[in-house]
Amino acid sequence: MTADPSIVDRAVPLSHLNHYEALELAVYGTRMFHARMTVPLIKSDVMMFIRNMMDPSGRGTYISAAGRTGTHETCTTSLERLAIIEARTRILQDGSSRHENIGARVTAVLEALKIPVWLSIRGAHGQAISVVVPVEKESQACAAINAELSAEIASHEVDSVNSESPVTMLSVVAEDLSKVSNHRANFFGSLADAGIEVLAIGQGTSSRSLSCVVRGIDTKVAVRRVHDAFNVDYLVTNIVLLGCNHIALDVVRQLQKQQELYRSQHKVRVNIVGFNSNCYDFVYDPKGFGYEELVLRLEDSKSKNAMTSVSSTSESMLYAGAPSLEQLSQLQELSIPIVLDCSGQSNTQGLYSACIDRGIHIVTSNARSVCRLPSTPSRESVAVTTWTKAGRTFFMYTSTIGASLPVIDTLGNILRTGDRVLSIETSLSGSMNFVANEVMKGKKLSEAVGGGALQRLLRA
């Protein structure tokens, strides 16, 4: 498989691997076979066939000496429950004296204790060494390194040993990986877009693999983002839609209408994985709901006229009908999670704070939903970027959700060509234009507003 299917649901089986790809996959964390298994295969030039037990009728995977040049599948693996330890020196490491060779001494003491080192990285001129070891060996390794370098630490020639756990070693493996266009940009760009910090980087001379170390809490998101960057031609955006009104209904209809446009022009597929209304409890399915089902449910909700008054629940609590904290944590693990709030609820601070803490982006369309939030210098339709432990998160308030304004598509086309838009001077509210035109024709303001409401031109 191109990744662990328990983590990446878009992982696909590989029809062929060569011996050395299989060896690197075994070294970097695949659970299908052991690295020692590949030794007799390489030595005797034997081909091995692996049958997928979850799909016995599938084609399976061949492992042979034949190269896989020309194919683009890239395998993503993760080795979890590790610790990264760093020793940093202020002594010039020119290799002239064993006493000065901090890196060699750290490596030797770990070898003497038979502590496995999964990754070893040295800084320029040997000024620092970082080693990745199993998390259960972290304390033993740190104690041994501190004892070995105690004299240098006491004289402040070596900084105190630092360690962090749990961490995960994330790797991509492919034959001729160096020939994959922009493979480093794809690898690190996908992690940067998810706001995932890279703690260390390693690459062998075989050009078949590229590895980095990330925090354990970021493992699932990191594996999914890196896998998708190499193996799929579009990204999946997972949306939770909140609200029981015509705005939410129009959003679903527009997403349904423009899904092919998103895939062809933006390389994105929008997946609605959760929604609620005041007639139904919040429902969540990570596989997503069909647009037809959503339209029927929202139309049924509207027919019952179930819009309720604002709850008096404390701002620190999630309002009734909102996703639970557990469901938000599940949403966090999906790719590009977004909460699209069309509900018009005013006690949203607890929900929005929980989303931002989990790295879930927020888009809201009603002024009532933001009026009680802390003040911000941002203006309408301008995204506020927040950095949290979960990464980079965007908060956007815009009143044009579901309006299908032609200027938005035009503006998007202008930006895609590389042009810059310095300012926009216009009226973007179709409802205000309608009311103003009706008043100018001689109608009373109440009649104009009532006519707009009858034609469903006014937002909730």
Domain ranges of the chain: 79-167, 235-397, 429-460
| 325-332 and 349-357 helices, crossing angle to 10° | 40
CA 110 to chain CA centroid, nearest Å: 35
* Helix, strand, coil percent values for the chain (each to nearest 5): 35, 20, 40
| CA–CA separation, 460 and 451 (whole Å) | 15
Window from 42-56, 334-348, 387-401 with minimum mean pLDDT: 387-401
At 57, list the tokens: 């009728």
The pLDDT score that the predictor gives to residue 381 is 40
* Cα 12 to Cα 9: distance, rounded to the nearest angstrom: 9
What 8-state DSSP symbol labels residue 266? I
Flag the least confident range among 289-298, 389-398, 416-425: 389-398
Mean pLDDT over residues 343-367, rounded? 83
What the block records as the tokens of 319 is 């309002």
pLDDT of 348 > 70? The answer is yes
| Both structure tokens of 22 | 């299989």
Domains 79-167 and 235-397 share a fold: no
pLDDT digits (tens, 9 = 90+) for 106-124: 889 999 999 999 888 887 7
Give the pLDDT confidence score for residue 319 in this predicted structure.
Answer: 65
CB distance 222 to 204 below 8 Å: no
* Ranges 20-29, 45-54, 107-116, 355-364, most confident: 107-116
- Give the span between the Cα atoms of 142 and 160, in whole angstroms: 10
Q: According to the model, what pLDDT value does residue 84 have? A: 94
* Strand-pair category, 61-64 with 198-202: unpaired
Binned at pLDDT 50, 70 and 90, residue 428 comes out as low
Mean pLDDT, residues 217-234 taken together: 82
pLDDT higher than 80, residue 102: yes
pLDDT of 328 > 60? The answer is yes
CA distance 304 to 97: 83
pLDDT at res. 139: 92
Phi and psi at 61, nearest 5°, equal -130, 130
Q: Which residue has the higher pLDDT, 377 or 194?
A: 194
Region label for 344, one of left (φ > 0), alpha (ψ between -120 and 50) or beta (otherwise): left
User: Residue 284: which of 340, 232, 331, 335 has the closest Cα?
Assistant: 331
**Which amino acid appears at position 388 of this protein?**
T
pLDDT of residue 366: 73
The band of 239, judged by pLDDT with boundaries at 50, 70 and 90, is: very high
- In this structure, which amino acid lies at residue 128? A
Least confidently predicted of 10-19, 312-321, 403-412: 312-321
β-sheet bridge partners, residue 237: 270
| Confidence tier at 136 by pLDDT (50, 70, 90) | very high
pLDDT, one tens digit per residue, over 156-201 is 888 888 999 899 999 888 776 766 667 788 888 888 877 788 999 8
The residue type found at 197 is E
Tokens of 17: 């691997």
Decide if pLDDT at 412 tops 60: yes
| Predicted local confidence at residue 388, as pLDDT | 53
Q: Over the chain, what is the mean pLDDT?
A: 77
CATH code of 235-397, in short, is: 3.40.50.720
The pLDDT score that the predictor gives to residue 157 is 85
Strand order in the sheet with 128-134: 119-122, 128-134, 75-88, 162-173, 209-215, 198-202
* Residue 313 in this model has a pLDDT that exceeds 60: no
Torsion region of 63: left, alpha or beta (phi above 0 gives left; psi -120 to 50 gives alpha): beta
- In the chain, DSSP finds a helix count (H) and a strand count (E) of 16, 16
When pLDDT is averaged across residues 387-407 and rounded to a whole number, the result is 62
DSSP E strand boundaries for 306-425: 337-341, 361-364, 384-388, 391-397
What is the average pLDDT across 319-329?
A: 81
Considering the four listed CATH numbers 1.10.3720.10, 1.20.1260.10, 3.30.2130.10, 2.60.40.3080, the one that applies to the domain covering 79-167 is 3.30.2130.10
Give the best-scoring range by mean pLDDT among 44-48, 258-262, 394-398, 440-444. Answer: 440-444
264 versus 316: the higher-pLDDT residue is 264
369, 459 contact by CB (below 8 A): no
Q: What average pLDDT does this structure show over 422-432?
A: 70
Q: Other CB atoms closer than 10 Å to residue 118's CB: what's the count? A: 19
Write down the pLDDT at residue 303.
54
